[in-house]
Amino acid sequence: MSLANGAPSFAELRTGIELALSGFLADQRTQLAEIGTELDPVSTSLTDYVLNGGKRLRPLFAYWGFRGAGGKADAAIIRACASLELIQACALIHDDVMDGSDTRRGFPAIHKRFATLHRDQGLSGASESFGISAAILLGDLALVWADKMFHTSTIESDALVRALPVLDEMRTEIMAGQYLDVLEQALASQSVERSLRVARLKSAKYTVERPLHLGAALAGADAPLFNSYSRYGMPLGEAFQLRDDILGVFGDPEETGKPAGDDLREGKRTVLIAAALERANGTQAAFIEQHLGRSTLGISDVINMREIIMETGAVGVVETMIEGGLASALNALEDSSIEPTARERLAELALAATRRRL
Amino acid sequence: MSLANGAPSFAELRTGIELALSGFLADQRTQLAEIGTELDPVSTSLTDYVLNGGKRLRPLFAYWGFRGAGGKADAAIIRACASLELIQACALIHDDVMDGSDTRRGFPAIHKRFATLHRDQGLSGASESFGISAAILLGDLALVWADKMFHTSTIESDALVRALPVLDEMRTEIMAGQYLDVLEQALASQSVERSLRVARLKSAKYTVERPLHLGAALAGADAPLFNSYSRYGMPLGEAFQLRDDILGVFGDPEETGKPAGDDLREGKRTVLIAAALERANGTQAAFIEQHLGRSTLGISDVINMREIIMETGAVGVVETMIEGGLASALNALEDSSIEPTARERLAELALAATRRRL
């Protein structure tokens, strides 16, 4: 497999990851159809959802984490890394239910899709409830299939057993992070420190550090490399989330795939919002608190909110934090034990992920 | 460990299983508290939920499946078997959200518990939504912790790798079964055959056959024993579910821990209901369809429904099916390769599970 070694581009790797996912999902679809053809919408929806876009960041970090530890990649490693996308599918499907988000990457969220199926087939009971039940179960199934894809990747048993504890920590952290995120919104928190803690769990650990550790564990790396990956991954993951915070308020819908100012409508307690509230005068703070989380927020409210957030200086503060995180991450890559091609690619990933041109 | 071999009673094994669960959960609680003390309600609720009763059927079948294959049990095996209770916790927590059930084993359901926490702490937003989000995440966490408990049970790597595919199938089947169950209710299905298929996935495979296979895989058993366990487990699991169907309509609340006729209120499309509808005359069928799934169903409605279901002869039909399933299960135990103590215990489990004196 040409992707296995050498210096594949991100686009080549993404294609490899997507082929692995579509192959796995086709097999599961066959298996579910043997149980009953009524399960076809389950496998079709999950397949569409997983294959419909996404930056594949976690598999990319896992792959380059493996290569950075000197591992010789093969198709089995690509499959093992790709399985992380199914954990992410679970997180996103359940997230959309919790947030009541109707779309994901421009397509209907899973709960919406099944509510529509319920209506179209004239089933009995409430369509919304059916959609939510289906989405809860499809999220669960995605989590189970992540395991299955990893277990059946045909990586060696030793590598498998070394990697399982990393997956366990990773998944505990993402669920804990999601709970704290929900709690922060309910607390209407305005602390930069508390928002950063959520960013550390949900983005830094889950998106960057743990995938790198997974790759390192698969390659049988020793402790110093795990540490280097943490020193690179944690500040980078934080910076990555901070970029997301800015895009969630200021991003172009054509680029983000979400309506303008969507984070404001959802009332997300991001570091950006916390920084704005910390710096705001009385009038500015009152305006933000009054409008944040209002689902009816129109484009002119979004523009007003943007202006006030700019005026507080919060954007500059967050941009400085992003630059600092990126610098720390690049600095950690100087660790000489990381294999040179991987080091180069990890530097590129750091730049791309924080400047969001990936 | 005295439970490890010899012929421990079900009560002794249950105590061993519960000790293993409480030890594991205490460790997770410490770990979550290190992330943030706001996670205390997460670990406390999950611990209470898992330790508050339950028949521990799946770990018992896994344990005796292991012993039946000639395995020498130790504390690691008890921990590995006990981890199945965390998969079940995920299924129940998510089930309660989907059904809108407020109680479980006489205590508030997880989503109710977190809605109360939200109200008591005067948090912002809707308490019900907070409760549902928390329950979705706690269910996910239970599923992740099931893996973690299994992986860290300290069973040997070979046994671990042999067992993973069984866990993958088991969890795919339960999620598929849950979806078909939700779909059957939405289809207002009245086919005995379709209801039986759900019972096969949710009860026969998930509760009996797969736990036995897990034990067999842990012990390194060969194909004929897996087959014997299927021939015992499938009819027994079906019979077990049919007993549940009868208890869901006719059971004593003091024994079932649920309000009288709870299945009728939830509108469950059980084999019992399907059999009643197949045999009902026009008036009886109309009465059943009119009342089934009405959440306001009072005790006098429940008594009327019970009478009509009795009159159709459906209870007799289902009791005959239970007896048939039990006989097939006991017959399969005659397979001489099952270790004698285990065979005896599996016969006792079959009787106890279908007569519900466990």
> Which of chain B's residues have a Cβ under 8 Å away from the Cβ of A140?
90, 94, 139-140, 143, 175, 178
For residue A160, is it left (φ>0), alpha (ψ between -120 and 50) or beta?
alpha
Which residue has better confidence, B175 or B198? B175
**SS3 state at B108:** strand
pLDDT tens track for B122-156: 998 899 999 999 999 999 999 999 999 999 999 99
| CA of A335 vs chain B CAs: smallest distance (Å) | 28
| Per-residue pLDDT tens over the stretch B290-309 | 999 888 888 999 999 999 99
How far apart, in whole angstroms, are the C-alpha atoms of residue A296 and residue A53?
28
Per the CB < 8 A criterion, the answer to whether A173 and A197 are in contact is no
Counting residues of chain B whose pLDDT is more than 90, the rounded percentage is 78
Find all residues with CB under 8 Å of B238, minimum gap 6, and list them. B196, B199, B200, B203, B204, B321, B325
Instruction: Provide the pLDDT for residue B17.
Output: 97
Q: What is the pLDDT of residue B3?
A: 65
The per-residue pLDDT for range A153-211, each reduced to its tens digit, is 999 999 999 999 999 999 999 999 999 999 988 988 778 888 888 888 888 999 999 99
Element (H, E) at A21: helix A10-35
Taking contacts as CB-CB distances below 8 angstroms, the residues of chain A near B133 are 98, 182
Q: In this model, does residue B358 exceed pLDDT 60?
A: no
- Contact between B61 and B215 (Cβ < 8 Å): yes
Distance CA A241, CA A228 (A): 20
Q: What is the pLDDT of residue A356?
A: 65
Q: Find which of A155, A183, A201, A289 to mutate to test the B interface (most B CBs within 10 Å of its CB).
A: A183
Q: Determine the distance in angstroms separating the CA of A41 from the nearest CA of chain B, rounded to an integer.
A: 11
Closest-CA distance of chain A to residue B221, Å: 19
Mutation to test the A interface, candidates B92, B133, B202, B205, most A Cβ within 10 Å: B133
Q: Are B273 and B261 in contact (CB under 8 A)?
A: no
The structure tokens listed for A219 are: 């390659």
Per-residue pLDDT for A321 more than 60? Answer: yes
CB A39 within 8 A of CB B173: no
Mean pLDDT over A267-284 rounds to 92
Instruction: Decide if B173 and A35 are in contact by the 8 Å CB cutoff.
Output: yes
Q: Which residue in chain B is spatially nearest to A134 when comparing CA positions? A: B179
Radius of gyration of chain A, Cα coordinates, nearest whole angstrom: 21
Task: Report the pLDDT value the prediction gives residue B46, as an integer from 0 to 100.
Answer: 97
Give residue A194's pLDDT.
85
Q: Give the pLDDT band of residue B6 (cuts 50, 70, 90).
A: confident
Whether pLDDT at B322 is above 70: yes
Residues A69-96 have a mean pLDDT of: 97
pLDDT in tens, A103-121: 888 789 999 999 999 999 9
Q: What is the count of residue pairs from A and B with beta carbons less than 8 Å apart?
A: 159
Express as a percent the part of chain A with pLDDT over 90.
78
Closest residue of chain B to A148, computed from CA coordinates: B168
**Yes or no, beta carbons of B36 and A180 under 8 Å apart:** yes
Q: How confident is the model at residue A233 (pLDDT cuts 50, 70, 90)?
A: very high
Distance CA A337, CA B299 (A): 72
pLDDT, average across residues A301-326: 95
Residues of B in contact with A179 (CB under 8 A): 39, 42, 134, 137-138
- Give pTM, 2 decimals: 0.94
Which residue on chain A is closest to B178 by alpha carbon?
Answer: A137
Q: B172 vs chain A: nearest CA distance in angstroms?
A: 6
Distances (CA, A) of B227 to A32, A69, A183, B81, B208: 22, 44, 48, 20, 13
Residue-wise pLDDT for B75-125, tens only, equals 999 999 999 999 999 999 999 999 888 888 878 999 999 999 999 999 988
CB < 8 Å to B164, chain A = 147, 151
The whole-chain average pLDDT of chain A stands at 93
Q: Chain B: nearest CA to A341, how far in angstroms?
A: 33
Question: Which of A324, A271, A131 has the alpha carbon at shortest distance from B186?
Answer: A131
Q: What confidence tens digit (pLDDT) does each residue in B159-173 have?
A: 999 999 999 999 999
Q: What is the CA radius of gyration of chain B?
A: 21
* pLDDT tier for residue B356 given thresholds of 50, 70 and 90: low
> Minimum mean pLDDT among A73-82, A128-137, B41-50, B250-259: which range?
B250-259
* Per-residue pLDDT at A358 exceeds 60: no
Chain B residues with CB-CB distance to A183 below 8 A: 38, 123
The per-residue DSSP string of A40-86 comes to HHHHHHHHHHHHS----HHHHHHHHHHHHTT----HHHHHHHHTHHH
Task: Give CA–CA dist A330/B16, Å, rounded.
Answer: 50
Report how far residue B115's alpha carbon sits from residue B104's, in angstroms, rounded to the nearest whole number: 15
Close Cβ partners of B93 (under 8 Å, ≥ 6 residues apart): B49, B109, B110, B111, B135, B138, B139, B142
Q: Are B137 and A175 an interchain contact pair (Cβ–Cβ within 8 Å)?
A: yes
Q: Judge whether A38 and A187 are in contact, CB under 8 Å.
A: no
Task: Walk me through the domains of chain B, giving residue ranges and CATH numbers.
Answer: 1-155 (1.10.600.10), 159-358 (1.10.600.10)
Could you give the CA distance from residue B145 to residue A168 in angstroms, rounded to a whole number?
8
pLDDT in the model for residue A203: 86
- Looking at residue A230, its pLDDT comes to 97
Query: In this complex, which of A36, A143, A145 lies closest to B143 when CB atoms are compared?
Result: A143
Q: What is the residue whose two structure tokens read 């927590």?
A: B93
Give the integer Cα–Cα distance in Å for A337 and A67: 11
The span from the CA of A117 to the CA of A41, in Å, is 9
Nearest CA in chain B to A157: B161
> If you average pLDDT over residues B317-324, what whole number do you get?
95
CA A142 to chain B, closest CA, distance in angstroms equals: 9
Q: Which residues of chain B does A124 touch, with a Cβ-Cβ cutoff of 8 Å?
A: 185-188
Kindly list the residues from chain A whose CB atom is less than 8 angstroms away from the CB atom of residue B173.
35
Which of A140, A176, A185 is opposite residue B94, by nearest beta carbon? A140
Q: Which of A142-151, A208-217, A296-305, A341-350 has the lowest mean pLDDT?
A: A296-305
Nearest CA in chain A to B174: A141
- CB-neighbour burial class of residue A193 (10 A; exposed 0-12, middle 13-18, buried 19+): exposed
Query: pLDDT at residue A19 above 70?
Result: yes
